[in-house]
Amino acid sequence: MAGGGKPLYLLQWSFASLAQAACPNPTADIMAVDFSRRRSQIGIMKFRVIIEPDEDGVFVAECPALPGCIAQGPTEQEALRNITEASQGIAQATINFVAQHSEALPGTFNIAEFNKDAALLAPFQQVASLIASLNTDTDDTLRALHSDIYSETLDVYAYAKAANRAGAYDDYINTVKTRFSTGPRPKKAVAKPTP
């Protein structure tokens, strides 16, 4: 950093580490999944989610195709995120059931394919969590960088004003000056303690 300061946040995850978290053993059977086919299947399997505010202003999300899959949140996005998490519990219960009671399933049910999907769930949930953490760290780092650059802008602006000969830096000075045109905030009166 130009001012010699330390960044407030450092990005700790790289996409390589995310890939490693998703699949620590690249020769594992789960790597045999044909993702091009998966994408086309996922594109077909869309579920409609209805999101409506309730009388308290909380957003309620419901998936009519998945009975009991209901969630809520303070915003539409949070309600949608929560319904996804609610369906994860159902998915885990199904994974456990198939593992324990495969005899209950018809012969047409492709257990091998289901097991591949199930094997991908936990690693990709971990990747999603890492990406969310990375996004938070990125936002925080960006704020810190903006703060540092704004602070350094004060110095650059002062230097440009002092070195401005024959209006050579007027464009920059006028651009930055509009941001500072309101002047400093008035200082609040601080009551002095009485002896």
Q: Which range marks the domain in which residue 95 is found?
A: 15-118
Whether residue 138 lies inside any domain: the answer is no
Whether residue 183 lies inside any domain: the answer is no
Whether residue 132 lies inside any domain: the answer is no
Whether residue 85 lies inside any domain: the answer is yes
Please report the pLDDT score of residue 101 as a whole number: 93
Whether residue 105 lies inside any domain: the answer is yes
Whether residue 64 lies inside any domain: the answer is yes
Closest CA to 128 of 33, 46, 21, 26: 21
Q: Based on the structure, what is the number of domains in the chain?
A: 1
Q: Which residues pair with 50 in a beta bridge?
A: 62
Please report the pLDDT score of residue 77 as a whole number: 84
The per-residue b/e assignment along 112-143, b for 16 or more CB within 10 angstroms, e otherwise, is: eebbbebbbeeeeeebeebeeebeeeeeeeee
Share in percent of the chain as helix, strand, coil (round to 5)? 60, 5, 35
Each residue's pLDDT expressed in tens, for the chain with a length of 195 residues: 444 443 333 333 344 444 455 455 544 443 444 444 444 444 444 678 888 899 988 999 888 877 778 889 998 888 888 887 777 777 888 899 999 999 999 999 889 888 888 888 888 878 878 888 888 888 888 888 888 888 898 889 999 999 998 999 999 998 888 877 665 666 776 667 776
Which helix (H) or strand (E) covers residue 50, if one does?
Answer: strand 50-53
Q: What is the pTM of this model?
A: 0.46
Whether residue 87 lies inside any domain: the answer is yes
Name the H helices within 24-110. 35-44, 76-100
Question: Which 8-state DSSP code applies to residue 61?
Answer: E
Provide the CATH number for the domain around residue 100: 3.30.160
Q: What whole-number distance in Å separates Cα of residue 65 and Cα of residue 85?
A: 16
Whether residue 178 lies inside any domain: the answer is no
